[in-house]
Amino acid sequence: MLSAGLIVLGSYLIGGVSAAYVAGRILRGIDLRLYGSRNVGASNVFQTVSRAAVVPVGLLDIAQGLAGILIAKAAGEELAVQVAAGLAALAGHNWSPFLRFSGGRGIGPAIGFMLVLSWPGLGAFVGCSLAGVALGAVPQLVGLGILIAPLAALARGQSPEIIAGLAVVPALVFAKRLLTNEPSLPRDGPVLMNRLLYDRDTREREAWLRARENSD
């Protein structure tokens, strides 16, 4: 039990080490939480810091999601502990203890989680995400991919622990979409709906970014 608890805690702390934040500091000398979308993740690195840096940052985010799972596997822990470690990394990425509980959106660690534990879920997610790129509806179809991943795992007869873990992933991802890195949740219904569907306060990204810049 102690070993399992330490693995899950360690996975949370690993998830909390933000490659995006480090990239912003090293490459541009900025706090990514104050620029662009203010998301501490690969997408904001791409838009605000460096397009080339998005590849190593994205790979490190994915590695966060799988590191704790692999450690739990190596330690001989049962599947439930492996799932918990992966979810802990995702939570650490979204609410980093090193960044005053701000963070990214959790997509990278979610990919790492599925890469180790659920190829059916990953396939469903990747298919939806590629469709989103083709249709110009990335936030919506990425969200849909996260939502249908547990259904894909269920259809392929994966274990209850993995299916339950995949069902928690969208809860963490959409919770962060709603909360963002702001100090409080807005009461405006349309804003909340836009955050769920578009991962921003308005449908138009450029107008939203301009509004954020003007509010500073």
> Domain limits of the chain?
2-215
pLDDT of residue 112: 97
Q: Across 93-208, where does the E strand assignment appear? A: none
Query: Rg of the chain's alpha carbons, rounded to an integer?
Result: 17
Rounded distance, CA 147 to CA 13, Å? 26
**What global pTM score does this model have?**
0.92
CA distance 164 to 147: 12
> By CB neighbour count within 10 A (0-12 exposed, 13-18 middle, 19+ buried), where does 172 fall?
buried
Give the model confidence (pLDDT) of 110-152 as tens digits: 999 999 999 999 999 999 999 999 999 999 999 999 999 999 9
Query: What local confidence, expressed as pLDDT, does residue 28 receive?
Result: 94
Grade residue 201 by pLDDT with cuts at 50, 70 and 90: confident
Structure confidence at residue 134 (pLDDT): 96
Please state, in angstroms and as integers, the Cα–Cα distance from residue 158 to each residue in 70, 154, 155, following that order.
18, 6, 8
Q: How many Å apart are CA 11 and CA 68, to the nearest integer?
A: 5
Q: Which of 9-18, 74-83, 178-187 has the lowest mean pLDDT?
A: 178-187
Instruction: Give per-residue burial for 56-90: e unless 16+ CB within 10 Å, then b.
Output: ebbebbbbbbbbbbbbbbeeebebbbbbbbbbbbb
Residue 215, pLDDT score: 59
Categorize the per-residue pLDDT at 210 as very low, low, confident or very high, splitting at 50, 70 and 90. Answer: low
